[in-house]
Amino acid sequence: MFALVLAMCMGADQAPLRLVRQMPTSEFPCERVSGLSIRGSKWLVGGMRGLYLGSPDGKWKEASKNAVRQLASSGAEDWVLYGNGSVDKLDVAKDQLVFDVFQGAVKRPWAASMSSVPGGLSFGGHGGWFDRVSGKPIRELYPSQLGQREVTAQVTLGATRYIGTQDGLFVFGPKGFKRLGFGDGFRDTWITSIAVSRGKVLVGTYTGGLVEIDGEKAQQVDAPTSKIRSLLVRKNRLFVGGLDGVWAQRPSGWQKIGNGEVTCLSEAGGELVVATVENVSLFL
């Protein structure tokens, strides 16, 4: 019942999705595409075989051979998180690449995830996170409650920070700290993704579907797959990427917009990017 109400609310200002481009992953030099940034005619693409700058007509320049885990844009800069945990920063327009941005800048200069926070990005790492927000010094936090856990995803809502790990959701708010796990309604405590939709925190789990955080409880909500790998809220619409496909939420239910395992769900150049092991699709 809750899921239906949520969908209907979202439907009020949703425009239909329009597929503007689709390319098989074989046309990308990096195979499995885990991130895409579009800056004018230049594309920056990262995947299992490294990071490449070029154009979709096949002219690619290798920027790194390291496997890319995630790519995020912030202003004129693109941030690249590699599988080994290091982070590079690129300015595509200036063709500049800054290596290992956080080496020497923070205590633990490797990350497990990148997430948007107001004014910039936050990097989830080993037992904590560090924020890189425009105009402010880097702020790093390693709360004792996280112990040795890796931060897999995070989101900020008001003054509360929701931190995903492979061992539950950690909520740091004005009222204090709370860990949410199996005993609080999670079917799986491996948090893969977190998004905020209409003031609610939605949490994707590795095998336990989609969970909405309601106060200090986790409530299971309708999802097209139980194996969620990525969540995105764009123009008030929720997108869910899973091990078995990608879906867009519609007033009438879930619309499948990608087949196979999702490898990237993001926005680039004003378009929705849906990458799966099969292809990369751009939607308006």
Binding site for another protein (CB under 8 A): 31-32, 48-49, 64-67, 82-86, 97, 99-100, 103, 109-110, 181-184, 187-190, 206-208, 227, 243-244, 260-261, 277
Q: Which of 283, 279, 281, 246 is nearest to 25 (CA)?
A: 279
Residue 261: strand, helix, or coil: coil
Measured CA to CA, the distance from residue 207 to residue 77 in angstroms comes to: 33
Please report which helix (H) or strand (E) contains residue 282, including its range: strand 279-283
Nearer to another protein, 64 or 154 (CB): 64
Residue 18: strand, helix, or coil: coil
- Shortest spacing between CB 71 and another protein, in angstroms: 15
Nearer to another protein, 183 or 253 (CB): 183
Nearer to another protein, 179 or 234 (CB): 179
Residue 9: strand, helix, or coil: helix
Query: What is the C-alpha R_g of the chain?
Result: 18
- Shortest spacing between CB 25 and another protein, in angstroms: 10
Asked whether 100 and 86 are in contact (CB, 8 A), the reply is yes
- Shortest spacing between CB 65 and another protein, in angstroms: 6
Asked whether 40 and 54 are in contact (CB, 8 A), the reply is no
Q: How many helices (H) and strands (E) does the chain have?
A: 1, 28
Nearer to another protein, 18 or 217 (CB): 217
- Shortest spacing between CB 261 and another protein, in angstroms: 4
Nearer to another protein, 15 or 94 (CB): 94
Q: Which of 215, 155, 156, 218 is nearest to 189 (CA)?
A: 218
Q: Which of 186, 101, 184, 118 is nearest to 154 (CA)?
A: 118
- Shortest spacing between CB 134 and another protein, in angstroms: 26
Nearer to another protein, 131 or 188 (CB): 188
- Shortest spacing between CB 46 and another protein, in angstroms: 12
